[in-house]
Structure 1
Amino acid sequence: MADNGSTQGATWPLPKFRFEVDFGTTLKGIAFQEVSGMEVENQVVEYRKSNNLLFSIQKMPGIVKYGNITMKRGIFTNDNTLQNLHEEIKMNLIKRRTILIKLLDEAGNVTMQWQLNNAWPTKITGTDLKSDGNEVAVETMEIAYEQITITNGG
């Protein structure tokens, strides 16, 4: 008999379609169509020891580099949330915030969370317009951040 997943202790991969994004105390649970680019990379430092008998280099971990996060969401009437976030940038003054990206289970509980520290919007892209299209209008925001912390819900 096939296992239908109803047995206790069954482990299944998490679906990625139920998530929410919190931008702080006043902007909680913003719905996005897509969130991508959550990546961490260690730069490689190549070094050749002077007393190394092998004619080769050693590779060591260097500075940690974080990619920008891209978020896409539908455009709604009288909703300028993303533009307002971007307009907080004045000259060299940036309002940095902690952004939480939460992956939710069927009951709405947090199963995994990505915390972006010192985050701020770097780019807003409005929708493209087509007279013969029938797609939903989507705007895109790119977020830069300095550190990511991943936690599991419990």
Structure 2
Amino acid sequence: MEEKEIYLSNVVGNYRFMVEIENLLVASFSEVSGLVVETELEQYNEGGVNEYTHQLPMRTKHVPIVLKHGLTDSYELWDWYDDVVKGKIVRRSGSIILFDDQFREFRRWTFNDAFPSKWVGPELNASVSEVAIEQIELVHNGFKFL
């Protein structure tokens, strides 16, 4: 009987990460989402074939990257978004870096030509004692998985 090699990969937690955005000094982010790539499909029904529908790949799209962090005295993210509102689009590249349990770089997603398309301020509620969270959404021209 032939032996099969068993490959056990390291699984890392999703809580050791860092975000780099060129020329911006921003406090660390508490949450990142939007690392999504999706290929749109066109369905084609072939005449006389009723068992399935052909799925043809079309455009591939990248959803916005959403960054959240506790509100600080820094206006860097707001100023970047405010420039967009005023018609001054400043595109920046950056990286989302995931670290292993030894704080070594495990994965890096590098995005290009990003600019903010949405800014969300904190939800204020006097009945809870939570950190005020600022959120910014970045549209981009894709990312590379390194």
Normalised to the residue count of structure 2, the TM-score between the two structures is: 0.82
2:69 corresponds to: 73
CA RMSD of aligned residues (A): 2.4
Identity %: 26
Q: Does 1:147 align with 2:119?
A: no
Matches within 5 A, 1:49-64: 54=49, 57-64=53-60
- Tell me, in whole angstroms, the C-alpha distance in 2 between the residues paired with 1:29 and 1:91: 22
1:135 corresponds to: 130
- Tell me, in whole angstroms, the C-alpha distance in 2 between the residues paired with 1:41 and 1:23: 24
1:116 corresponds to: 111
Contact 1:21 1:28 in 2 (8 A): no
1:95 corresponds to: 90
Q: The residue matched to 1:118 in structure 2 has which SS?
A: strand
Q: Does 1:37 align with 2:34?
A: yes
Q: Which runs of 5+ in 2 are unaligned?
A: 1-6
Contact 2:26 2:76 in 1 (8 A): no
1:16 corresponds to: 14
Q: How many residues are matched?
A: 139
Normalised to the residue count of structure 1, the TM-score between the two structures is: 0.78
Contact 1:102 1:114 in 2 (8 A): yes
Q: Post-superposition shift, 1:74?
A: 0.2
Q: Kindly report structure 1 stretches of 4+ aligned residues shifted beyond 6 Å.
A: none
Q: Post-superposition shift, 1:11?
A: 4.1
**Equivalent AA in structure 2 for residue 15 of structure 1:** G
Q: Deviations over 1:108-147 (max 9, x none)?
A: 3321011112211111111011222211111111111121
Q: Which runs of 5+ in 1 are unaligned?
A: 1-8
**Equivalent AA in structure 2 for residue 64 of structure 1:** T
